[in-house]
Structure 1
Amino acid sequence: MNEKINVLDNGYVRLTNVMGSDLSVVNSARVSYDKESTELDEKDIRLIKFLAREGHTSPFRHATLQFEVYAPLMVARQHWKYIVGSDHTMDAWNESSRRYVTEEPMFYIPQADEWRSAPENSKQGSGSTIDIDEGADFTEELMDFVEKGEWLYNDAISRGICAEQARLFLPAYGMYVRYYWTASLQSVTHFLNQRLAHDSQVEIQEYAKAVYSLVKPKFPISIDELTRTEV
């Protein structure tokens, strides 16, 4: 399986594995009555809607999905926050480490028309985009900062410093990291409900949209019933 959606400038979300379907949710619920469906019908769809509406969520944890994600650290850490804070058990997360990996670092650098102002009435989030000429200045400054950090990192490596310390020279928040995320269908929709919200960080919204687009064809009924935010 290699279904992939590109996100931001160099990032992506790739669906690497799926276990189950909407039918798995139905049969997990019906096992209490020793019943099993072999093909999804209208009665099964009504059952999924009932389970989601009434908060009977355990059947949705019998389906799992695995993703490979390549995202700036600021996105990955926000994503991780909702994994560790979730009570939907059996999530797994494995991430590449620059203790061992010395591949060419990649950084997220917003274009001139992508810089956003601070919000007027909140301590977090962002407002409207700023003037493009001013944005161009910030893009250039960030590129210079990244270039300097990369030079210092490579210099440290070439002079024999271990990778786990040399990485201190790399600008962290915009640097891309690669990770595998395996989660139940319920946990995936928990993430989507949080990160598709209009007031969430724009960059992680783009990753949530990619996850939604990959999950929707696999669980068309369940995803619509469990996801509260329109995409």
Structure 2
Amino acid sequence: MGSDLTVVNAARVSYAKQSDALTEKDLRLIQFLAREGHTSPFRHAVIQYEIYAPLMVARQWWKYVIGSAHYEGTGDSLEAWNESSRRYITEEPAFYTPAAGQWRSAPANSKQGSGDIVAWELGEKYTRELMNYVDLGIQKYEAALADGICAEQARLFLPAYGLYVRWYWTASLQSVAHFLNQRLEHDAQKEIQDYAKAVLEIVKALFPVTIDELLSK
């Protein structure tokens, strides 16, 4: 909902003025608002995403969303989050399984994050073990359903963190920019970085001027 022009007109309404097309003056106004931290005009443009991601990504994303509503300077972030629930659905579960060349080592000087890619042989071992673990969980999940166990309890057998979930994320342009500034950083988890790049690609097509100004230089 909205465009770069929405931000401009939200700011200009203070003086009962409106722009019908972006001008150089409007571009300078967007730059000024972003540079000086005048954030309210950026909350009048809203974008909605449908996201399908492993639970480990969803929970990290959600942690950010909760925090952003109280983040200094953001005010009301205008966010909504509605997620599919295995209390109600029993569609075939899907899981994120890293390939042999995607397993990363523990970092040398930190308690979180990751280091370099491990040897292929070690990665292949853990890809195989994870696939076996997922298969076993699915078998037990399906057996529980077949025996009449309710879906909300049968799901306990599913390996949780790699399980894909689907949700709608509706957020103001300011809030999307804050997410991107956090999750495009080099020390963000690789998997959520990949999603952040996709979020950026979509939002940049819709709000090319504003998002460029809101992202950390």
Q: TM-score, normalised by structure 1?
A: 0.90
Matches for 1:68-87 after TM superposition, within 5 Å? 68-87=50-69
2:12 to 15, 19, 30: 30
Whether the 8 Å contact between 2:54 and 2:163 is mirrored in structure 1 is yes
User: What is the match of residue 3 of structure 1?
Assistant: none
Task: List alignment gaps of at least 5 residues for structure 1.
Answer: 1-18
| Mapped partners of 2:50, 2:16: distance in 1 | 36
Moved over 2 A (4+): none
Q: Secondary structure at the match of 1:56?
A: coil
User: What is the match of residue 168 of structure 1?
Assistant: 156
1:136 to 121, 124, 128: 124
The structure richer in helix per residue is 2
The structure richer in strand per residue is 1
| Mapped partners of 2:196, 2:216: distance in 1 | 13
User: What is the match of residue 30 of structure 2?
Assistant: 48
Q: Secondary structure at the match of 2:101?
A: coil
User: What is the match of residue 228 of structure 1?
Assistant: 216
| Mapped partners of 2:173, 2:131: distance in 1 | 39
What is the CA deviation profile of residues 150-183 of structure 1, one whole-angstrom value per residue up to 9, with x for unaligned ones? 0000000000000000000000000000000000
User: What is the match of residue 39 of structure 2?
Assistant: 57
Whether the 8 Å contact between 2:7 and 2:44 is mirrored in structure 1 is yes
Q: Secondary structure at the match of 1:216?
A: helix
Whether the 8 Å contact between 2:48 and 2:170 is mirrored in structure 1 is yes
> What's the % identity of the aligned pairs?
68
What is the CA deviation profile of residues 93-122 of structure 1, one whole-angstrom value per residue up to 9, with x for unaligned ones? 000000001000000000000000000000
1:210 to 190, 198, 209: 198
RMSD of aligned alpha carbons: 0.6
What is the CA deviation profile of residues 187-212 of structure 1, one whole-angstrom value per residue up to 9, with x for unaligned ones? 00010000000000000000000000
Matches for 1:47-196 after TM superposition, within 5 Å? 47-87=29-69, 88-196=76-184
| Mapped partners of 1:218, 1:65: distance in 2 | 9
| Mapped partners of 2:117, 2:16: distance in 1 | 57
| Mapped partners of 2:172, 2:99: distance in 1 | 35
Q: How big is the shift at 1:133?
A: 1.0
Aligned residue identity for 2:38: H
Q: TM-score, normalised by structure 2?
A: 0.96
Q: How big is the shift at 1:145?
A: 0.1
